[in-house]
A and B are shown apart, each in its own frame.
Chain A
Amino acid sequence: MDVRLSPEQSALRGSAVQVVDRLGVRAVAHLDDRERAGKLDAAVDATGWRELRTLAEDGGPWASPVEVAIVAEELGRGLADIAFLGPTMAADLRRLAGAPAAAGRETIALTADLAEPACAVDGDVTGAVAIDAEAATSALVLVAGAEGYAMGAVPVGDVVTGADLTRPMARLTARAAPVSGQTRRLHEGEVAAWRSLGLAVACADLVGTMRGTLALACDYAHARRQFGAAIGSFQAVQHLLADAFVATEGSRSIALHAAWAADALPGPDALAAASAAKAYCARAARAVCETAIQVHGGIGNTWDCLAHVFLRRALLSADVLGGVGDNLARVLAAHGVEVDHGLR
C-alpha cells in the first residue's frame, strides 16, 4: 500500500492546475465569456483528458480512474465549464462494449432524477436526461437484454442550464438507436464498475468544488473587515472555515479510495466503495459551499459572488448517479442490510 500520487500523477495534476488556473471561471462574468470557454474546451481536447478511458494498445484503458479523478478535481476547483464526466463515461462504456471510439462529442444519459444510468426499453428513454450536454451530438444509454447490457445512442437536442451554471443538460426526446460496432455485452459486474467510475469522478469534482469555494471564503475572511479587524480573526468564523477544511480532507481521502477501487476491485466492491464516498462527499460539499456563502455575508447571497456558482455545481455533482440517500441505501445493501423504502 502506498496511496501517494506517483510522479506521473503529480505531473498530470500540475498540468490540470495550469489549464484551469488560466482558463477556468474566476468571476461570475466569466461564465458569459464564450471565447474563454472555447479556449478551455480546446485546451482539454488537446490534452486528451476526455479520452483517458478509451482503449489503449494493451487492451485496457489508457489511464486508471485515479488519473481521471485527478483531472476532475482540478476542473471542479476551477469551475471548468466544459464537459468531462459525461464524455469520460461514454468513452468507458464504448470500451467495455468493444465498440470503436465515438466520431463526435458524446456523453451519457441518466434517469430523470439523475440517480441511475438511463436504460432504454424498446428504444424508449422517456424522461432521461443527458448530462454534460454542451456540444454533445449524442448520449449513450444502456439497453437491457437476456445476455447482458448493450448500448444505445440518443441524439441530443437543445441544451438547458439547470441548477449548475457551468454544465448544461438536455432532456432526451428522441428514441435510442443501436450503436454500431459493439462486439460484446456488459454483465452486471461491469455495469457496477462503470457506475463506480462515474461516482468516483463526481466525488472528485465535489472535492475540487470544496477546495475552490473554501479558498474563496478564506480569501474573503482575510480581506473583509468589521469591528476594526479582519473577520477571519474571529473565532466563530474561524471554526466554520476549519470545519469546512476538515470535511474537505475527509472527502479527499474517501474519494481517492473510490477512484482506486473503480478499476482495482470487483464491480460490486467498487460500487460499495464509490457509494460510501459519494454519500460522504455529497453531504460535505453542500455544507462547505453553504459555509462559503455564510462567510461572505450579504455579498455571498448576490448573483455576482462566485460562491453560489460553486454551490450550484456541487448540487448537480451531488445528485449525479445518486445523492446522499440513494448512496446510503447502496452502502447498506452492500452490507446485506435490507432497505425497504429507500433512504432518500
Chain B
Amino acid sequence: MDFADSTEELAFRLRLRDWLSGHDPGLPPSSTADEYWAGQAAWHQTLYDAGFFGLSWPKEIGGLGLPSVYEVILDEELITAGAPPRPSVGYLVQGILRHGSEDVRRRFLPGLVSGRERWCQGFSEPEAGSDLASLRTRAERDGDEYVISGHKVWTSYSDAADWCLVLARTDPVVPKHRGISAFVVPMRQPGIVQRPLKMINGVTREFGEVLFDGARVDATNMIGEVGEGWRLAMTVVSHEREPGELGYVARYGKLVNGLVDAVKERPGTFGPEEQRDLAWAIVEAEMLRCHVSRRLSDRLDGLSHGPEGSVDKLLMTAAEQAVGHAALSIGGVSDPAGVDTWLKVYLYSRAQSVMGGTSQVQRNLIASRILELPTS
C-alpha cells in the first residue's frame, strides 16, 4: 500500500512537470467560459502530441500503454501547473474498445484519442432521460447504409463534433433494451442539424441538441452487432460516472487553488461560514483524489467496472458541489454584471447531479446492485 511514486513514475512526473511549465494554454475554467471550449481541441492535441494523453490506453489505439495510476499523476501535475484538465473522452474510448470490432477500433479510436477528430455522444432524448432504453430515434437499413431519424439532447460538444456515437432503435418489436444498436455517425452531412443549448451559467459551447432527419451512416460503422447497443451504452455510462476516467480531480483541484488564492488576496474579508465552505471544498477535492488513486490502483490487474461507478459518481458530485458552494460563498452574488466567474462555477455545479445519470438513479443502482436490498 503506497501512494508514493515508483522510480519510473517519478521520472515521468518530473518530465511532465517540466513540459507543463512551458505549455499551459492559459484557458479559463471549463465551467465558466466559452473560450475554454474554443481552445479545448488545441489543448487536447498539444497534450497528446507531447506524449501526455491516453496514458493508460493501449498502444494500438494511440495510447501509451502505461499502468492506470499514471492518470492520477497527470491530474496532480495539471493541478500544480494550473493547466486545464485532461480531455474527458475516456468513456467513449472504453466503450468502443470493449464493444467495437477490430475494424471499428482501428478506424475510429486513434482520431478520438489524439484529439484530431472531435466526438459527441447521442444517447439522451427529450422523452428518454433516466429511462434511456425508451429512446425513439430510429435507424433503418437501406442497402449498405442505415438512415437515422430522431432527436437527441444534452449532447455535449455537438457543435464541434466530427462524429456522434448514436444509440438508435433498429428493432421496434423486441423488448426495449434489445432493439437498440450503436453507430458512429458522421456529423458533417445533410440531414443533421445541431443547436446549442445555453446553460444556466451562460455557457453556450458545451451543450447542444441534435436533430437527425434522414442522416446516413455506413453499416460498417455499427459498434457490435445489431441489437447490442444497450451493452455498449452501459459500458459508456458506467465509465462516464468515473472521475478517474473523466480527469475531474484536476478540474476541482484547479478551482480549489483559485478559491484559496482569492481568500488569501483579501485577508479579513471572510467570516467563519465562508471559511468553512472553503475548507470543505479542499477536503472534498482531496477525498476524490485519494478515492481515484484507490480505484485506479484496483485496476492495475486489468480493467473492471461495475456498480461501484455509481459510488464514484456520487462522490464526484459531492466534491463538485462543495466546490460550487465555496465558489458561491467567496464570490458572492453582488457582481452587478452577474457574470462573475465564481457564480458561473457554482451554477455549473448543479448539473453534476444530473449529467451521466442522476444522483437518484445512482442511489437506486447502489441499493440494488451493491447493498442487494430487496426489490419492491
Q: In the complex the two chains form, is B72's CB within 8 Å of A256's CB?
A: no
Smallest CB separation, B62 vs chain A (Å):
24
**Given known contacts A66-B1, A245-B366, A253-B290, is B376 in contact with A234 (CB within 8 Å)?**
yes
**Given known contacts A233-B376, A250-B318, A253-B291, is B3 in contact with A3 (CB within 8 Å)?**
yes
Complex formed: what's the CA distance from A27 to B264 in Å? 51
Which residues from B are CB-within-8-Å of A343? 272, 275-276, 279
Q: In the complex the two chains form, is B260's CB within 8 Å of A335's CB?
A: yes
Smallest CB separation, B39 vs chain A (Å):
29
Query: Does B69 make an interface contact (CB < 8 A)?
Result: yes
Which residues from B are CB-within-8-Å of A2? 1-2, 69, 297, 300
Contact of A279 among B279, B311, B367 (CB under 8 A): B279
Query: Does B162 make an interface contact (CB < 8 A)?
Result: no
**Given known contacts A276-B286, A336-B264, is B300 in contact with A4 (CB within 8 Å)?**
yes
Contact of A233 among B9, B280, B283, B373 (CB under 8 A): B373
Query: Does A102 make an interface contact (CB < 8 A)?
Result: no
Smallest CB separation, B271 vs chain A (Å):
9
Query: Does B314 make an interface contact (CB < 8 A)?
Result: yes
Complex formed: what's the CA distance from A278 to B92 in Å? 37
Which residues from A are CB-within-8-Å of B286? 254, 257, 273, 276
Query: Does B237 make an interface contact (CB < 8 A)?
Result: no
Query: Does A239 make an interface contact (CB < 8 A)?
Result: yes
Query: Does B371 make an interface contact (CB < 8 A)?
Result: yes
Query: Residue on B with the closest CB to A251?
Result: B287
Q: In the complex the two chains form, is A1's CB within 8 Å of B72's CB?
A: yes
Smallest CB separation, B365 vs chain A (Å):
8
Q: In the complex the two chains form, is A241's CB within 8 Å of B367's CB?
A: yes
Q: In the complex the two chains form, is B364's CB within 8 Å of A238's CB?
A: yes
Query: Does B220 make an interface contact (CB < 8 A)?
Result: no
Which residues from B are CB-within-8-Å of A331? 279, 282-283
Query: Does B278 make an interface contact (CB < 8 A)?
Result: yes
Query: Does A45 make an interface contact (CB < 8 A)?
Result: no
Contact of B283 among A222, A276, A342 (CB under 8 A): A276
Q: In the complex the two chains form, is A1's CB within 8 Å of B2's CB?
A: yes
Q: Which of A1-47 contact B (CB under 8 A)?
A: 1-6, 9
Contact of A243 among B72, B279, B363 (CB under 8 A): B363
Query: Does B294 make an interface contact (CB < 8 A)?
Result: yes
Which residues from B are CB-within-8-Å of A180? none
Q: In the complex the two chains form, is A337's CB within 8 Å of B275's CB?
A: yes
**Given known contacts A4-B1, A238-B364, A276-B286, is B291 in contact with A245 (CB within 8 Å)?**
no
Q: In the complex the two chains form, is B272's CB within 8 Å of A249's CB?
A: no
Which residues from B are CB-within-8-Å of A342? 272
**Given known contacts A229-B376, A242-B363, A242-B366, is B1 in contact with A328 (CB within 8 Å)?**
no
Number of A-B contacts (CB under 8 A): 158
Complex formed: what's the CA distance from A230 to B375 in Å? 9
Query: Does A304 make an interface contact (CB < 8 A)?
Result: no
Complex formed: what's the CA distance from A273 to B373 in Å? 35
Q: Which of A252-307 contact B (CB under 8 A)?
A: 252-254, 256-257, 260-261, 264, 273, 276, 279-280
Smallest CB separation, B177 vs chain A (Å):
21
Which residues from A are CB-within-8-Å of B363? 238-239, 242-243
Complex formed: what's the CA distance from A235 to B358 in Å? 15
Count chain A residues whose beta carbon lies closer than 8 angstroms to a beta carbon of B.
Answer: 52
Contact of B3 among A1, A5, A276, A279 (CB under 8 A): A1
Q: In the complex the two chains form, is A256's CB within 8 Å of B275's CB?
A: no
Q: In the complex the two chains form, is B311's CB within 8 Å of A253's CB?
A: no
Which residues from B are CB-within-8-Å of A328? 275-276, 279-280, 283
Q: In the complex the two chains form, is A229's CB within 8 Å of B374's CB?
A: yes
Which residues from B are CB-within-8-Å of A338? 267
Complex formed: what's the CA distance from A241 to B374 in Å? 13
Contact of B278 among A221, A243, A332 (CB under 8 A): A332
Q: Kindly supply a per-residue 1/0 record for chain B positions 255-285, scoring 1 wherever the CB is within 8 Å of any chain A CB and 0 otherwise.
A: 0000010011001000010011011101110
Query: Does A246 make an interface contact (CB < 8 A)?
Result: yes
Smallest CB separation, B252 vs chain A (Å):
14
Which residues from A are CB-within-8-Å of B366? 242, 245-246
Which residues from A are CB-within-8-Å of B283? 254, 276, 279-280, 328, 331
Query: Does A86 make an interface contact (CB < 8 A)?
Result: no
Query: Residue on B with the closest CB to A338?
Result: B267
Query: Residue on B with the closest CB to A221?
Result: B373
**Given known contacts A4-B297, A276-B286, A332-B275, is B264 in contact with A337 (CB within 8 Å)?**
yes
Which residues from B are CB-within-8-Å of A242? 314, 362-364, 366-367, 371
Which residues from A are CB-within-8-Å of B315? 246, 249-250
Q: In the complex the two chains form, is A3's CB within 8 Å of B373's CB?
A: no
Query: Does B4 make an interface contact (CB < 8 A)?
Result: yes
**Given known contacts A242-B363, A250-B287, A337-B275, is B1 in contact with A6 (CB within 8 Å)?**
yes
Which residues from B are CB-within-8-Å of A208? none
Query: Residue on A with the closest CB to B319?
Result: A250
Q: In the complex the two chains form, is A232's CB within 8 Å of B373's CB?
A: yes
Which residues from A are CB-within-8-Å of B300? 2, 4
Q: Kindly supply a per-residue 1/0 record for chain A positions 187-224, scoring 1 wherever the CB is within 8 Å of any chain B CB and 0 otherwise.
A: 00000000000000000000000000000001001100
Query: Does B131 make an interface contact (CB < 8 A)?
Result: no
Complex formed: what's the CA distance from A189 to B83 in Å? 32
Which residues from B are CB-within-8-Å of A229? 374, 376
Contact of B275 among A238, A252, A253, A339 (CB under 8 A): A339
Smallest CB separation, A141 vs chain B (Å):
29
Which residues from B are CB-within-8-Å of A264? 2-4
Instruction: Tell me the B residues contacting A by CB distance below 8 Å.
Output: 1-6, 9, 69, 72-73, 260, 263-264, 267, 272, 275-276, 278-280, 282-284, 286-287, 290-291, 293-294, 297-298, 300, 311, 314-315, 318, 360, 362-364, 366-368, 370-371, 373-376
Q: List 6 A-B contacts (CB under 8 A).
A: A3-B1, A5-B1, A238-B367, A242-B314, A252-B294, A260-B3
Known: A3-B293, A328-B276, A328-B283; 5 extra A-B contacts, CB below 8 A, are: A4-B297, A235-B376, A254-B290, A280-B287, A325-B276
Instruction: Tell me the A residues contacting B by CB distance below 8 Å.
Output: 1-6, 9, 66, 218, 221-222, 229-230, 232-235, 237-239, 241-243, 245-246, 249-250, 252-254, 256-257, 260-261, 264, 273, 276, 279-280, 325, 328-329, 331-332, 335-339, 341-343
Q: Which 6 interchain pairs have the tightest Cβ spacing?
A: A238-B367, A253-B291, A328-B279, A242-B363, A233-B376, A232-B373
